[in-house]
Amino acid sequence: MLEIVDLSQHDWTEQLNEDNNAVVLDVRTEEEIGLGMIPNSIHIDIYKGQGFIDAIEQLDKAKNYYVYCKAGGRSAQACAIMNQLGFKTTYNLKGGFSEWQGEVANK
């Protein structure tokens, strides 16, 4: 069982900037992403259940995934699911989007 790696915003941003194999994944709801999202992130709502798993299965397992939600709980859950599905590298943004201090893009 792979453990979930929680990164502070500082570590997340620093690591992401140096990672050429990174994908940023937003697992919040449609309403939540209406408040903005981290630039260049892809959106797959974890509340979609099997739809979430089906969408995750389409992603490249060789990439490094930086996952976030509103506060860090659902994204930790998403990392756990991804790890079970064979993704080797997932990072959870501690504090989630609600504590994000960086750049924000509109959907």
Facing residues of 89 across strands? 64
Q: How confident is the model at residue 1 (pLDDT cuts 50, 70, 90)?
A: low
Task: Identify the active-site residue in 16, 46, 69, 78.
Answer: 69
User: What does the pLDDT average to over 31-58?
Assistant: 96
Q: pTM of the predicted model, to two decimals?
A: 0.95
Sheet holding 22-26, edge to edge: 5-7, 89-93, 64-68, 22-26, 41-43
SS3 assignment for the chain: CCCCEEECHHHHHHHHHHCCCEEEEECCCHHHHCCCECCCEEECCHHHCHHHHHHHHCCCCCCEEEEECCCCHHHHHHHHHHHHCCCCEEEEECCCHHHCCCCCECC
Facing residues of 6 across strands? 92
The count of structural domains within the chain is 1
**20 Cβ partners below 8 Å, 6+ apart?**
none
Give the CATH number, domain containing residue 52: 3.40.250.10
11 assigned to some structural domain:
yes
106 assigned to some structural domain:
no
18 assigned to some structural domain:
yes
Q: Catalytic site residue 69?
A: yes
21 assigned to some structural domain:
yes
Domain that holds residue 52: 5-99
Q: What are the pLDDT digits (tens) for 71-105?
A: 999 999 999 999 999 999 999 999 999 999 999 99
pLDDT of residue 2: 67
